[in-house]
Amino acid sequence: MIHSTLRRLAPWALAALLAACGGGGGGIGGTGAALGTMRVSITDAPSCGYDAVNVTVEKVRVHQSATASDGDPGWSEVVLSPARRIDLLSLTNGVLDELGQTQLPAGTYTQLRLVLGSNGPTAPFANSVVPSSTATEVALDTPSAQQSGLKLNMNVVVPADKVADVVLDFDACKSVVKAGNSGRYNLKPVVSVTTVLSDAGQRIVGWIAPAVAASAPSVSVQASGVPVKATVPDPTTGRFDLYPVPSGTYDLVIGAAGRVTSVMTGVPVVTSAYTYTNSEAQPILPAAAASAPRTVSGTVTPPAAAASAAVSALQSFTAGPTIEAAFAPVDADTGAFEFSLPV
């Protein structure tokens, strides 16, 4: 169990288990060029304050040039026909939704564009949110996605005669921005592109005490205070599954209501095996807070900066890491934000 705040991953916890863990496409390639295949999936981190976050994907476009414009030659694309409406909140705890694959020239691809459908005048909307406070579907404004697509930087190598798997990790919590009291919600996409090198690894699995898991705590792996992948555990079993995670060494951060933030350092991720932080028989039980949480609030100024602002609360540990303890959405109109943080 992790009581207090800091613990290094014990060697016994690195049990290795080898396991085998949409749409159509159109590729553009020159005559005689070596070809490979890119397969694209989508997943999500946990959302805050919403019962659903829906996006409708029409196509995924990729290019070898990071500066290529929408009309330049050399684009390859995965086209979803018909377009697919996806509730991002159903894609947590290791769940992926495959969008499709396409054959394309072998090489290094540095730009990806996610093209979303347009909203109609009435619900159900192509892109929408359902705030937990109202349980009513509201259109999600995505103007850039309906033109040339959401532009994402990536660095994915597609080998000749092989398949390159890429996952779009869509952080719905950080991507949905409320616009004051207007009733509008804007999409400010926070999406990372991860290459999956093997279905036998790049995964962190563990268990949180079910009594704590029922309150939907956040579980994330971070590097130097920057979240890399986040999820919520199964509310019944407490099992959490962080996938895919690039190879490396991370801090595992657990935040639960009414409890201090717990951190496990030195958690390794490899491509050849799963990383188990603990067993189901010995679930993690974050320590209870010494006192009630405190509210921290503020305003981003000038108002024009609010639309593109993001606010995080960082926590530093003595002789330990600095981690992101919480993230607060910034109101796009007023610039207001608010945290509830343990002492």
Q: What is the pLDDT of residues 283-297, one digit of tens each?
A: 999 888 777 788 999
At residue 225, the pLDDT reads 94
pLDDT interval class at 18 (50, 70, 90): very low
Contacts of the segment 266-270: beta carbons below 8 A, 24+ positions apart: 266/8, 266/9, 267/9, 267/204, 267/221, 268/9, 268/14, 269/201, 269/202, 269/203, 269/204, 269/221, 269/245, 270/201, 270/202
Q: What is the torsion angle, in degrees rounded to the nearest 10, for the CA atoms of residue 67, residue 71, residue 73 and residue 74? A: 60
Mean pLDDT over 267-271 rounds to 95
Bridge partners (DSSP) listed for residue 249: 268
Rounded to the nearest angstrom, the gap between the alpha carbon of residue 170 and the centroid of all alpha carbons in its chain is 4
50-63 and 107-116 strand pairing: antiparallel
pLDDT interval class at 219 (50, 70, 90): very high
Instruction: Mark 94-114 as b/e (b = at least 16 C-beta within 10 Å).
Output: bebbebbbbbbbbbebbbbbb
pLDDT interval class at 32 (50, 70, 90): low
